[in-house]
Amino acid sequence: MKNILEHSAVQNLLQNAAAPDPTITNWLSRLSLLGDVPFQNLVADERLLPQNALRFFYIDPSWICALLDGALSIGTNTTLEEKVNSILAHSVRDKAMIGANKLRANALGIAHAMNAADPAPFTLVAGMLLRSQLVSGFPGLKIIPTYAAGQQQVPLRYETIGDGLLLVIFPAIPVSIKIQQPPQGLRFGFSDAGGSYKIKLRNITGDDTGGQVVRDGKPVEGNITATQLFRTDASADKKYVLNVETLKAAVQQSLVNAGAYPTPATPITPAQFAMQIVSTPDEANFTNPQL
Protein backbone atom coordinates (compact mmCIF):
# COMPACT_ATOMS: atom_id res chain seq x y z
CA MET A 1 0.00 0.00 0.00
CA LYS A 2 2.83 2.39 0.85
CA ASN A 3 4.48 1.69 -2.49
CA ILE A 4 1.23 2.43 -4.33
CA LEU A 5 0.91 5.74 -2.49
CA GLU A 6 4.34 6.76 -3.75
CA HIS A 7 3.02 7.06 -7.36
CA SER A 8 2.23 10.64 -8.38
CA ALA A 9 -0.90 9.53 -10.27
CA VAL A 10 -2.30 7.93 -7.11
CA GLN A 11 -1.45 10.99 -5.06
CA ASN A 12 -3.15 13.30 -7.60
CA LEU A 13 -6.24 11.06 -7.58
CA LEU A 14 -6.40 11.16 -3.78
CA GLN A 15 -6.02 14.94 -3.70
CA ASN A 16 -8.74 15.44 -6.31
CA ALA A 17 -11.08 13.01 -4.58
CA ALA A 18 -10.45 14.35 -1.06
CA ALA A 19 -13.58 16.07 0.17
CA PRO A 20 -13.40 16.66 3.93
CA ASP A 21 -16.61 16.91 5.87
CA PRO A 22 -17.84 20.57 5.85
CA THR A 23 -17.71 20.58 9.65
CA ILE A 24 -14.00 19.76 9.53
CA THR A 25 -13.31 22.30 6.77
CA ASN A 26 -15.14 25.05 8.69
CA TRP A 27 -13.24 24.20 11.87
CA LEU A 28 -9.91 24.33 10.03
CA SER A 29 -10.97 27.60 8.36
CA ARG A 30 -11.69 29.15 11.75
CA LEU A 31 -8.41 27.78 13.09
CA SER A 32 -6.52 29.46 10.25
CA LEU A 33 -8.04 32.74 11.54
CA LEU A 34 -6.65 31.96 15.01
CA GLY A 35 -10.00 30.69 16.25
CA ASP A 36 -9.76 28.75 19.55
CA VAL A 37 -6.07 29.68 19.89
CA PRO A 38 -5.44 30.56 23.58
CA PHE A 39 -4.73 34.22 24.28
CA GLN A 40 -1.28 33.44 25.72
CA ASN A 41 -0.34 31.98 22.35
CA LEU A 42 -1.38 35.21 20.60
CA VAL A 43 0.25 37.63 23.06
CA ALA A 44 3.26 36.10 24.79
CA ASP A 45 3.34 38.68 27.57
CA GLU A 46 0.35 40.75 28.72
CA ARG A 47 2.64 43.78 29.01
CA LEU A 48 2.78 43.79 25.21
CA LEU A 49 -0.91 44.69 25.19
CA PRO A 50 -1.72 46.91 28.20
CA GLN A 51 -5.06 48.59 28.83
CA ASN A 52 -6.05 51.26 26.29
CA ALA A 53 -3.61 49.89 23.72
CA LEU A 54 -3.88 49.18 20.01
CA ARG A 55 -1.47 46.78 18.30
CA PHE A 56 -1.20 45.95 14.60
CA PHE A 57 0.49 42.74 13.49
CA TYR A 58 1.29 40.48 10.56
CA ILE A 59 0.36 36.80 10.56
CA ASP A 60 3.22 34.53 9.54
CA PRO A 61 1.77 32.08 6.96
CA SER A 62 4.33 29.47 8.00
CA TRP A 63 2.95 29.60 11.56
CA ILE A 64 -0.59 29.05 10.28
CA CYS A 65 0.62 26.19 8.09
CA ALA A 66 2.27 24.55 11.12
CA LEU A 67 -0.92 25.13 13.17
CA LEU A 68 -3.06 23.35 10.57
CA ASP A 69 -0.52 20.55 10.21
CA GLY A 70 -0.75 19.99 13.95
CA ALA A 71 -4.54 19.86 13.75
CA LEU A 72 -4.42 17.42 10.82
CA SER A 73 -2.08 15.11 12.72
CA ILE A 74 -4.76 14.40 15.34
CA GLY A 75 -5.65 10.70 15.30
CA THR A 76 -2.67 9.71 13.17
CA ASN A 77 -1.49 6.42 14.71
CA THR A 78 0.27 4.52 11.94
CA THR A 79 2.87 5.29 9.30
CA LEU A 80 0.26 4.54 6.60
CA GLU A 81 -2.12 7.13 8.06
CA GLU A 82 0.79 9.56 8.27
CA LYS A 83 1.55 8.99 4.59
CA VAL A 84 -2.08 9.56 3.55
CA ASN A 85 -2.20 12.70 5.68
CA SER A 86 0.93 14.09 4.06
CA ILE A 87 -0.60 13.55 0.61
CA LEU A 88 -3.95 15.15 1.47
CA ALA A 89 -2.64 17.92 3.74
CA HIS A 90 -1.87 20.41 0.98
CA SER A 91 -5.33 20.12 -0.59
CA VAL A 92 -7.11 20.26 2.78
CA ARG A 93 -5.08 23.28 3.90
CA ASP A 94 -5.90 25.12 0.67
CA LYS A 95 -9.63 24.44 1.12
CA ALA A 96 -9.40 25.66 4.72
CA MET A 97 -7.74 28.93 3.70
CA ILE A 98 -10.27 29.57 0.93
CA GLY A 99 -13.06 28.76 3.37
CA ALA A 100 -11.59 31.22 5.88
CA ASN A 101 -11.98 33.98 3.31
CA LYS A 102 -15.73 33.29 3.12
CA LEU A 103 -16.71 32.61 6.73
CA ARG A 104 -17.51 36.13 7.85
CA ALA A 105 -18.82 37.31 4.46
CA ASN A 106 -21.32 34.44 4.48
CA ALA A 107 -22.30 35.15 8.10
CA LEU A 108 -22.99 38.80 7.19
CA GLY A 109 -24.91 37.84 4.08
CA ILE A 110 -22.37 39.49 1.76
CA ALA A 111 -21.93 37.89 -1.65
CA HIS A 112 -18.41 36.47 -1.72
CA ALA A 113 -17.72 37.80 -5.20
CA MET A 114 -18.48 41.32 -3.93
CA ASN A 115 -16.14 40.98 -0.98
CA ALA A 116 -12.83 39.57 -2.14
CA ALA A 117 -11.23 37.04 -4.43
CA ASP A 118 -10.01 33.80 -2.90
CA PRO A 119 -6.50 34.43 -1.58
CA ALA A 120 -3.50 32.46 -2.65
CA PRO A 121 -3.12 30.03 0.27
CA PHE A 122 -0.70 31.09 2.99
CA THR A 123 -0.09 34.64 1.86
CA LEU A 124 0.87 37.30 4.39
CA VAL A 125 -2.15 38.90 6.03
CA ALA A 126 -2.49 41.36 8.87
CA GLY A 127 -4.60 42.02 11.93
CA MET A 128 -5.10 44.22 14.96
CA LEU A 129 -5.77 43.82 18.67
CA LEU A 130 -7.58 46.58 20.55
CA ARG A 131 -7.71 46.47 24.34
CA SER A 132 -9.94 49.27 25.56
CA GLN A 133 -13.22 50.09 27.26
CA LEU A 134 -14.29 51.31 23.82
CA VAL A 135 -14.78 47.66 22.88
CA SER A 136 -17.30 47.00 25.66
CA GLY A 137 -18.73 50.53 25.56
CA PHE A 138 -19.44 50.42 21.82
CA PRO A 139 -20.32 46.83 20.80
CA GLY A 140 -20.88 48.01 17.23
CA LEU A 141 -17.48 49.69 16.89
CA LYS A 142 -16.71 49.91 13.16
CA ILE A 143 -13.33 48.89 11.76
CA ILE A 144 -13.01 50.08 8.15
CA PRO A 145 -9.81 49.04 6.32
CA THR A 146 -8.74 50.43 2.94
CA TYR A 147 -6.34 48.53 0.72
CA ALA A 148 -3.90 49.47 -2.03
CA ALA A 149 -6.49 49.32 -4.80
CA GLY A 150 -8.95 51.42 -2.77
CA GLN A 151 -11.30 48.53 -1.86
CA GLN A 152 -12.98 48.39 1.53
CA GLN A 153 -13.37 44.62 2.00
CA VAL A 154 -14.85 43.44 5.27
CA PRO A 155 -12.38 41.92 7.75
CA LEU A 156 -12.11 38.13 7.73
CA ARG A 157 -12.57 38.05 11.49
CA TYR A 158 -14.06 40.61 13.87
CA GLU A 159 -14.56 39.15 17.32
CA THR A 160 -14.47 40.16 20.97
CA ILE A 161 -12.22 37.51 22.53
CA GLY A 162 -12.28 38.87 26.08
CA ASP A 163 -13.51 41.71 28.24
CA GLY A 164 -12.65 44.86 26.33
CA LEU A 165 -10.48 42.92 23.87
CA LEU A 166 -11.16 42.96 20.13
CA LEU A 167 -9.37 40.86 17.50
CA VAL A 168 -9.63 41.78 13.81
CA ILE A 169 -8.00 39.94 10.88
CA PHE A 170 -7.88 41.50 7.41
CA PRO A 171 -7.79 39.65 4.04
CA ALA A 172 -4.74 41.70 2.96
CA ILE A 173 -2.41 44.34 4.39
CA PRO A 174 -4.39 47.60 4.77
CA VAL A 175 -3.05 50.93 3.62
CA SER A 176 -5.18 52.65 6.26
CA ILE A 177 -7.68 51.73 8.97
CA LYS A 178 -10.55 53.82 10.29
CA ILE A 179 -11.96 53.08 13.75
CA GLN A 180 -15.37 54.66 14.08
CA GLN A 181 -18.10 54.87 16.70
CA PRO A 182 -21.27 53.02 15.66
CA PRO A 183 -23.64 55.02 13.40
CA GLN A 184 -26.24 55.20 16.18
CA GLY A 185 -23.81 57.55 17.90
CA LEU A 186 -25.21 60.33 15.67
CA ARG A 187 -26.61 62.95 18.03
CA PHE A 188 -26.88 66.65 18.77
CA GLY A 189 -23.98 67.90 20.84
CA PHE A 190 -21.10 70.26 21.49
CA SER A 191 -17.47 70.07 22.56
CA ASP A 192 -16.74 71.44 26.03
CA ALA A 193 -14.01 74.10 25.75
CA GLY A 194 -13.86 74.94 29.46
CA GLY A 195 -16.53 77.54 30.19
CA SER A 196 -17.70 77.71 26.59
CA TYR A 197 -18.71 75.24 23.91
CA LYS A 198 -17.60 74.62 20.34
CA ILE A 199 -19.43 73.23 17.32
CA LYS A 200 -18.13 72.19 13.92
CA LEU A 201 -19.58 74.64 11.41
CA ARG A 202 -21.02 73.08 8.26
CA ASN A 203 -21.68 74.58 4.85
CA ILE A 204 -25.39 75.23 4.29
CA THR A 205 -25.26 76.04 0.57
CA GLY A 206 -23.41 74.86 -2.52
CA ASP A 207 -22.08 71.47 -3.60
CA ASP A 208 -20.48 70.86 -0.23
CA THR A 209 -23.67 71.29 1.79
CA GLY A 210 -23.19 69.48 5.09
CA GLY A 211 -19.41 69.42 4.74
CA GLN A 212 -17.34 71.15 7.39
CA VAL A 213 -16.42 74.78 6.79
CA VAL A 214 -12.70 75.04 6.06
CA ARG A 215 -10.57 78.21 5.97
CA ASP A 216 -6.84 78.21 5.15
CA GLY A 217 -6.90 74.43 5.17
CA LYS A 218 -8.26 74.22 8.74
CA PRO A 219 -11.77 73.31 9.95
CA VAL A 220 -13.67 76.25 11.41
CA GLU A 221 -15.46 75.94 14.74
CA GLY A 222 -18.13 78.16 16.24
CA ASN A 223 -17.81 79.35 19.83
CA ILE A 224 -20.97 79.28 21.99
CA THR A 225 -21.08 80.72 25.49
CA ALA A 226 -22.94 79.04 28.35
CA THR A 227 -25.48 81.88 28.49
CA GLN A 228 -26.19 81.45 24.78
CA LEU A 229 -26.55 77.71 25.16
CA PHE A 230 -28.68 77.37 28.34
CA ARG A 231 -31.72 79.18 29.66
CA THR A 232 -30.88 81.59 32.48
CA ASP A 233 -34.39 81.45 33.93
CA ALA A 234 -34.28 77.69 34.52
CA SER A 235 -34.45 76.38 38.06
CA ALA A 236 -31.48 74.60 39.61
CA ASP A 237 -32.76 71.17 38.65
CA LYS A 238 -33.29 72.32 35.06
CA LYS A 239 -30.21 74.48 34.61
CA TYR A 240 -29.18 72.64 31.46
CA VAL A 241 -32.36 73.38 29.51
CA LEU A 242 -31.36 74.64 26.05
CA ASN A 243 -32.22 78.19 25.03
CA VAL A 244 -33.02 77.41 21.41
CA GLU A 245 -33.53 81.01 20.28
CA THR A 246 -30.21 82.39 21.59
CA LEU A 247 -28.39 79.23 20.50
CA LYS A 248 -29.78 79.54 16.98
CA ALA A 249 -28.73 83.21 16.82
CA ALA A 250 -25.23 82.36 18.08
CA VAL A 251 -24.84 79.59 15.51
CA GLN A 252 -25.92 81.94 12.75
CA GLN A 253 -23.46 84.61 13.89
CA SER A 254 -20.65 82.03 13.91
CA LEU A 255 -21.50 81.17 10.30
CA VAL A 256 -21.50 84.86 9.36
CA ASN A 257 -18.13 85.38 11.05
CA ALA A 258 -16.74 82.41 9.10
CA GLY A 259 -18.05 83.80 5.83
CA ALA A 260 -20.28 80.77 5.38
CA TYR A 261 -23.60 82.66 5.57
CA PRO A 262 -23.70 85.78 3.37
CA THR A 263 -27.22 86.91 4.36
CA PRO A 264 -27.07 87.69 8.11
CA ALA A 265 -30.45 89.44 8.08
CA THR A 266 -32.22 86.23 7.02
CA PRO A 267 -32.63 83.71 9.86
CA ILE A 268 -31.30 80.24 9.21
CA THR A 269 -33.97 77.58 8.80
CA PRO A 270 -34.65 74.86 11.39
CA ALA A 271 -33.05 72.30 9.06
CA GLN A 272 -29.91 74.43 8.66
CA PHE A 273 -29.76 74.92 12.43
CA ALA A 274 -30.08 71.18 13.06
CA MET A 275 -27.30 70.49 10.57
CA GLN A 276 -24.96 72.76 12.53
CA ILE A 277 -25.48 71.21 15.95
CA VAL A 278 -25.40 67.58 14.87
CA SER A 279 -22.44 65.71 16.35
CA THR A 280 -21.27 62.85 14.13
CA PRO A 281 -19.65 59.71 15.57
CA ASP A 282 -16.00 60.15 16.52
CA GLU A 283 -13.37 58.30 14.53
CA ALA A 284 -9.64 57.68 14.49
CA ASN A 285 -7.55 57.04 11.38
CA PHE A 286 -4.32 55.07 11.12
CA THR A 287 -2.07 54.89 8.07
CA ASN A 288 0.50 52.21 7.28
CA PRO A 289 3.77 54.15 6.79
CA GLN A 290 5.33 51.22 4.90
CA LEU A 291 2.80 51.37 2.03
Comparing 237 with 101, which gets the higher pLDDT?
101
- The residues near 227 (Cβ < 8 Å, ≥ 6 apart) are 246
Within the chain, what is the greatest distance between any pair of CA atoms?
96
pLDDT, residue 83, reads 59
Q: Which of 150-164, 225-239, 261-275 has the lowest mean pLDDT?
A: 225-239
Can you name the residues that pair with 210 across neighbouring β-strands?
Answer: none
Say what the pLDDT of residue 113 is. Answer: 47
Question: What whole-number distance in Å separates Cα of residue 50 and Cα of residue 277?
Answer: 36
CA distance 220 to 215: 7
159 to each of 70, 192, 194, 273, how far by Cα in Å? 24, 34, 38, 39
Higher per-residue pLDDT: 158 or 90: 158
Q: What is the pLDDT of residues 206-215, one digit of tens each?
A: 778 888 888 8
Report d(CA 149, CA 274) in Å as an integer.
Answer: 37
Kindly state the helix (H) or strand (E) to which residue 168 belongs, with its residue range: strand 165-170
- Confidence band for 8, pLDDT divided at 50, 70 and 90: low
- Which ranges of the chain would DSSP assign to H, the alpha helix? 2-5, 8-17, 22-32, 39-42, 61-72, 79-107, 112-115, 133-137, 226-229, 244-257, 270-277
Q: What does the pLDDT average to over 258-279?
A: 86
Encode pLDDT of 162-178 as tens digits: 899 999 999 888 999 99
- Give the whole-angstrom CA distance, residue 157 versus residue 159: 6
Q: What is the pTM of this model?
A: 0.66
The per-residue pLDDT for 114 is 47
CB 104 within 8 A of CB 155: yes
Asked if residues 220 and 213 have their Cβ atoms less than 8 Å apart, the reply is yes
Lowest mean pLDDT among 79-83, 144-148, 229-233: 79-83
* Predicted confidence band of residue 251 (pLDDT cuts 50, 70, 90): very high
- pLDDT of 87 > 60? The answer is no
Radius of gyration of the CA atoms of the chain, in A:
28
CA-wise closest residue to 276 among 285, 267, 265: 267
pLDDT higher than 90, residue 129: yes
Check: CB of residue 255 under 8 Å from CB of residue 204.
yes
